[in-house]
Amino acid sequence: MKESLFIAFEGIDGSGKSTQAHLLVDRLKEEGHRVHATCEPSGGPIGSLIRNIFSGRIEADHRTIAGLFVADRLDHLLNKTNGILKKLEEGYTVVTDRYCLSSYAYQGTHMPMDWVIEANSQSTQLLKPDLHVFIDIDPEESIRRMQAGRSTSDMYENLDNLRKVRENYFLAIDKVKGGEKVVIVDGNLPVDQVAIKVWKSAAALLNNRP
Ligand code: TYD
């Protein structure tokens, strides 16, 4: 019997998923749940290596990055100090800002998505989310939200990429939705309205808990 829930937030950059993950964590705590909030790239050594690559401090090929995400995810799950599996065992509800669908969508823009799915199969065999919350936003709106300090050419490059990532998210959701619960929330709505929809999905799950 499952005692605690695992909820994963997903969305393109600028979708507001981090804000929504925080709001859900706060609400769950208000309702008396013990909650562990976490994210990917993780706060562990492999996660910080990935952040160093994304910030340009370390150079790495996309295939290397895909492999690092596989390793980071396994460490995020299996770490003996604060890994997700340990937290679930201790009775925490775990809310993560990104999980496997992020790799399918983002790394899937550089290599076949099925390869990415296969490469992440150790993680998905260990743990699938009870709920994926995909905050869906128009890439144009996401760019508007992230606009400050970017050059126009940067923004176009980014817009093209965000469109591809969003398309990949829908392909990825199609692939998992037979066996896994995915809720798609319109992230173009005001923050509080998005939060209400997210809460309703989580609450339905909590009420139906075995
Ligand atoms: P993000 O959630 O945007 O972190 P932050 O709020 O710190 O900026 O994630 C950072 C980037 O990592 C984002 O552009 C998506 C990317 N990413 C992948 O490419 N693959 C993955 O598997 C994950 C988890 C993230």
pLDDT digits 0-9 by tens, 38-53: 999 999 999 999 999 9
Ligand 1 shell residues, CB under 6 Å: 13, 18, 40-41, 69, 97-98, 102-103, 106-107
Structural domain of residue 192, as residue ranges? 6-40+92-207
In this prediction, residue 146 carries a pLDDT of 87
Query: How many structural domains does the chain have?
Result: 1
Q: Which residues contact 195 (CB under 8 A, 6 or more apart)?
A: 20, 23, 24, 27
Cα 162 versus chain centre, distance: 15
Task: Report the pLDDT averaged over residues 48-66.
Answer: 96
Report whether pLDDT(206) > 60.
Answer: yes
C-alpha distances (whole Å) from 135 to each of 84, 129, 177 are 22, 16, 16
For residues 16, 19, 22 and 27, what is the CA-based torsion angle, rounded to 10 degrees?
-90
Is 68 part of any domain? no
Report whether pLDDT(133) > 80.
Answer: yes
In this prediction, residue 1 carries a pLDDT of 37
Is 61 part of any domain? no
Residue 192's CATH number: 3.40.50.300
Tell the residue nearest (CA) to atom 24 of ligand 1. 40
Q: Look up tokens 């993680």; give the residue.
A: 123
Is 28 part of any domain? yes
Is 80 part of any domain? no
CA 207 to ligand 1 center in whole angstroms: 31
| Cβ contact 114:66 at 8 Å | no
Global pTM reads 0.95
